[in-house]
Amino acid sequence: MDLDAFSRLLAPEGQGLLAVLADYRVEEEIGWATRLRREHEAGLVAAALTQARLRQRARVKFGADAGRMYFTANGVEQSTRAEVAAHRAERIAGAGVRTAADLCCGIGGDALALARAGVRVTAVDMDPLTCAVAEANAAALGVADLVEVRCGDVAHADVSGVDAAFLDPGRRTARGRVFDPEAYSPPLSFLDVLAAKVPCGAAKVAPGIPHEAVPKGMAAEWVSYGGDVKEAVLWWGPFAERPLQATLLPGGAVLAADRARQAPDGPVGRYLYEPDGAVIRAHLVAEVAEEVGGRLVDPTIAYITADTLTPTAFATAYELTDVLPFNLKRLKAIVRERGIGALTVKKRGSAVEPEEVRRKVKPSGPASATVFLTRVAGAPTMLLGHPLKAAQPM
């Protein structure tokens, strides 16, 4: 889709087509295309169908709002999940920020969240089509009076006078994802320039960013949603009080510390705790171990074990039934004896792939179980048990 095609979608005929396609299903696309081309120009129909398809995909991130919004293929792929953007916007607005710059704004997901939190936003992106989409989204969601979209190079954007800045640098090229922070567009080092101009703010980065790459004086927050780590955010100014933070959404549980610590290790107890991925990325496993009165099963493995069950928002608890040396034949025998048909295979510190385990063990039966392939005191080990959902705090 180019800028001309998108402009036609915003015109009355395009809007009519999008309204007709409100109930679009991808499996019905050929039928839709055939019917609509009888009354509308083929190029406009193609643009409308593309937009309907993107709206379907975007529902995962934007929920019901996706049906009113506009997208590009890259925008759907790279935009922040609405709940994650809202969490960040509320933190920024809660600090008294009233004006902000959203740099590399994309389709405007973060700008929309900031505007909904009451912040006036100047959104900047280099791509004219992306800027047009961001502007249309602000209008579609009723916050056009709070969002000004500018097309230009964020490295030269005028950020004078704003209370805060948010940067979402490009982390993809034609070859795929970029893992070196200095290969971002703009590079991570641009944060030092931005922080010198704006008193506080944040930058979205890949969750795999090494701790040593975090700029001096900035704090790092890892955010998960539903147990999946979505992003890391680097904060500066008054937001950088606690250097390490893990935030678990949608519940909003927050774990923070001034520095990473090593948890003690020891023998496997009755219970196993699997920390949330954000906790592990933030190097805050020791804090969870302390909370539940536990220890690591191995100094190098982020599994916590304890003799008693303690509710925590930061880990999933399992009750263990077996602690065995790694042996797939023995596991196969146990699975057969107990009629385990639903076998969840998790691993940490093991080279064996879950698919290989399931293929060799051949689970069958009405029962279910979880097996952890890991190391205990350096030795390859199998931990068999089942999750205790009731152990999680409400």
pLDDT one-digit tens code per residue, 240-268:
999 999 999 999 999 999 999 999 999 99
- The reported pLDDT for the residue numbered 173 is 73
Distance CA 316, CA 304 (A): 10
Choice among 36-40, 95-99, 231-235 with the minimum mean pLDDT: 36-40
DSSP structure class, residue 265: B
The answer to whether the peptide bond before residue 186 is cis (omega within 30 degrees of 0) is yes
One-letter amino acid at 306 equals A
> Do residues 177 and 183 make contact, with C-beta atoms less than 8 angstroms apart?
no
Q: Which of 78, 83, 86 is nearest to 107 (CA)?
A: 78
1 band by pLDDT with thresholds 50, 70 and 90: confident
Residue 50 in this model has a pLDDT that exceeds 60? yes
Across the beta sheet with 120-125, the strand order is 147-151, 120-125, 99-103, 164-167, 200-205, 228-236, 219-225, 244-249, 253-257
- Distance in angstroms (rounded) separating the CA atoms of residues 223 and 208: 12
Confidence of residue 391 (pLDDT cuts 50, 70, 90): very low
pLDDT in the model for residue 27 = 79
Q: Give 27 or 302, the one with higher predicted confidence.
A: 302
Does residue 292 have a pLDDT over 70? yes
Residue 349, pLDDT > 60, answer yes
Q: Work out the mean pLDDT of the chain and round it to a whole number.
A: 94
3-state secondary structure of 299: coil
* Strand segments (E) across the chain: 99-103, 120-125, 147-151, 164-167, 172-173, 176-177, 200-205, 219-225, 228-236, 244-249, 253-257, 271-275, 295-298, 301-306, 315-325, 340-347, 367-376, 379-387
- pLDDT recorded at residue 381: 98
Could you tell me if 281 and 232 are in contact, meaning their C-beta atoms sit under 8 angstroms apart? yes
Convert the pLDDT of each residue in 189-229 to its tens digit. Answer: 999 999 999 999 999 999 999 999 999 999 999 999 999 99
What pLDDT does residue 321 have?
97
pLDDT score recorded for residue 324: 97
Average pLDDT, integer, range 307-322: 97
Q: Is the pLDDT of residue 394 over 50?
A: no
Interatomic CA distance for residues 107 and 70, integer angstroms: 8
**pLDDT-derived band at 29, boundaries 50, 70, 90:** confident
pLDDT of residue 116: 98
The answer to whether the bond into 393 is cis (omega within 30° of 0) is no
Q: What pLDDT score was predicted for residue 277?
A: 97
The whole-model pTM stands at 0.92
The residue with greater pLDDT, 130 or 27, is 130
